[in-house]
A and B are shown apart, each in its own frame.
Chain A
Amino acid sequence: EAAVTQSPRNKVTVTGGNVTLSCRQTNSHNYMYWYRQDTGHGLRLIHYSYGAGNLQIGDVPDGYKATRTTQEDFFLLLELASPSQTSLYFCASSGGNYAEQFFGPGTRLTVL
């Protein structure tokens, strides 16, 4: 059974729209991450968290908010979506002694 799940898997919205991407992990990991993947840019870290209620800013945070409500759940919020946020979004979790991360299947977001 998948340990990191994301919903929705696909989302289309309009410029200025409000979008929430959800991620749940059942790995009992403390760390969770949100990335975006774009051609020519690889994976870029948006926000991450090391526990419920904690939020850390990543490398490309502008235009994004995030909230970690429980150890299992991490949400990415786009309050005024723009076409530049059209991308493939991945969530991941990490725990244990090493930096290995386990990824969800991705959410493809299109902002028209």
Chain B
Amino acid sequence: GDSVTQTEGQVTVSESKSLIINCTYSTTSIAYPNLFWYVRYPGEGLQLLLKVITAGQKGSSRGFEATYNKETTSFHLQKASVQESDSAVYYCALGITGNTRKLIFGLGTTLQVQP
């Protein structure tokens, strides 16, 4: 089957410190899935943070980066210096295309940035 694992349910980081949120995936449906990070700020809906379609490539947005690593089946989210406004829930997702088009989500990681 297909699955996404985010090992941390909640992460607390001090402002200006670095961040890494782990994401690994497993798939039997597709050899080269699309990979996504979505974010949900308090009181808002989900919005796309970044996506990477090609293995080995890096995506970036708003200071966040993630590299699609097919060897380790990972897509970790990183930021060098977080801000209080980054406090949100972050979801890693695996995209299946072809006859069926679906996103498989991880459970989400709540990031709390302390001033």
Contact = CB atoms under 8 A, between A and B. Distances in A.
Nearest to A104: B45
B107 interface: yes
A42 B106 contact: yes
Interface stretch (B13-21, B46-54, B74-82): B46-54
Contacts of A56: 100
A41 B107 contact: yes
B24 to A, nearest CB: 15
B34 A99 contact: yes
A100 B36 contact: yes
Given A31-B101, A42-B107, A100 B34 contact: yes
Interface of B: 33-34, 36, 38, 44-48, 51, 53, 91, 95-97, 100-103, 105-108
5 contacts: A43-B91, A90-B46, A99-B96, A100-B36, A105-B45
